[in-house]
């Protein structure tokens, strides 16, 4: 349960216990704590933004109660679907998310569809709500990626860069001189928070911030996934890299097309 994670060229070596503490003998893992921390901070941001956008706190918490379990289920199903050989015939292990195995793309898809469904039912502005979700997602992703660090997972291929990482689990070296891709994505998402907050100043339509999120996250994940050593594959295709490319171009395409359409409408009115 203790991983040794080192950055030899930086003179850093850490012994990381995956369990933060125990409650009645049951280990409480850092992975879950970090995910929960990211969620709480995202919700706090959402509460503040919803007031500005005239979205009621009741609607926010109702969406959260629906989207959170759906996101977890979808994140797990996405992961298991592309790692089926590891779970075939072991239903109990499919349900065991305490050891990790949540695919962020599945979670984002599940959360977004839940929010859209709720907005349609309650006749809320989908774009306005998704804009709040965009920054919240980056907050959660930036913090949650450190759960991968604690678990000694989501690392990359071998590199000679000075921040290369070594991971030893139960006395066995599972990664020797690899890219710390968990950190790359955490840093990319953290920078993205600032980018989206600045982008709000030039935002022209509801939902544009979410489109910007899709583009930013897709761009970062496109190149980071190419470095990963544990990608989920469909044949020879890295699934998350394919989705990252689609996400990038979908976000950009929507932003450009809606802006052009709005510009045409404004000209017609003149």
pTM over 0.85: yes
| Residue at token pair 């049951």 | 26
User: Tokens in use for 71?
Assistant: 């996101």
- 160 vs 230 pLDDT, higher one: 160
Which residues contact residue 15 at a Cβ distance below 8 angstroms, ignoring those fewer than 6 apart? 2, 3, 4
Kindly report the backbone phi and psi dihedral angles of residue 233, in degrees, each rounded to the nearest multiple of 5, phi listed first: -115, 150
- Whole-number pLDDT of residue 165: 97
Cα angle 169-173-174, degrees, rounded to a multiple of 5? 80
User: pLDDT by residue (tens digit) across 63-113?
Assistant: 999 999 999 888 888 888 877 777 776 777 677 666 667 788 888 899 999
Task: Please give the mean pLDDT across all residues of the chain.
Answer: 90
> Given a cut of 80, is residue 49 above it in pLDDT?
yes
* Model pLDDT for residues 222-232, shown as the tens digit of each residue: 999 999 998 88
Domain boundaries, the chain: 2-200
């Amino acid at each position: 349960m203790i991983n040794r994670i080192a950055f030899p060229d930086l003179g850093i070596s850490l012994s990381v216990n995956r369990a933060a503490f125990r409650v009645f003998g049951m280990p409480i893992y850092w992975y879950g704590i970090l995910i929960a921390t990211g969620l709480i901070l995202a919700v706090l941001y959402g509460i503040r933004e919803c007031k500005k956008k005239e979205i009621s706190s009741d609607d926010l918490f109702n969406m959260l109660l629906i989207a959170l379990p759906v996101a977890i289920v979808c994140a797990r199903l996405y992961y298991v679907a592309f790692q089926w050989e590891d779970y075939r015939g072991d239903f109990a292990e499919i349900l065991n998310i305490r050891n990790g195995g949540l695919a962020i793309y599945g979670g984002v898809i599940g959360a977004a569809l839940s929010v859209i469904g709720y907005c349609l039912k309650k006749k809320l502005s989908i774009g306005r709500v998704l804009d709040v979700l965009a920054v919240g997602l980056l907050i959660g992703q930036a913090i949650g990626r450190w759960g991968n660090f604690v678990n000694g997972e989501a690392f990359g291929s071998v590199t000679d860069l000075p921040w290369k990482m070594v991971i030893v689990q139960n006395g066995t070296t599972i990664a020797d001189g690899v890219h710390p891709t968990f950190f790359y994505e955490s840093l990319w998402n953290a920078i993205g928070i600032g980018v989206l907050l600045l982008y709000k100043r030039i935002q022209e339509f509801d939902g544009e911030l979410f489109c910007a999120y899709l583009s930013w996250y897709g761009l970062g994940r496109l190149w980071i996934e190419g470095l990963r050593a544990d990608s989920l594959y469909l044949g020879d295709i890295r699934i998350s890299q394919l989705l990252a490319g689609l996400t990038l171009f979908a976000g950009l395409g929507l932003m450009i097309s809606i802006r052009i359409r709005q510009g045409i409408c404004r000209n017609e009115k003149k």
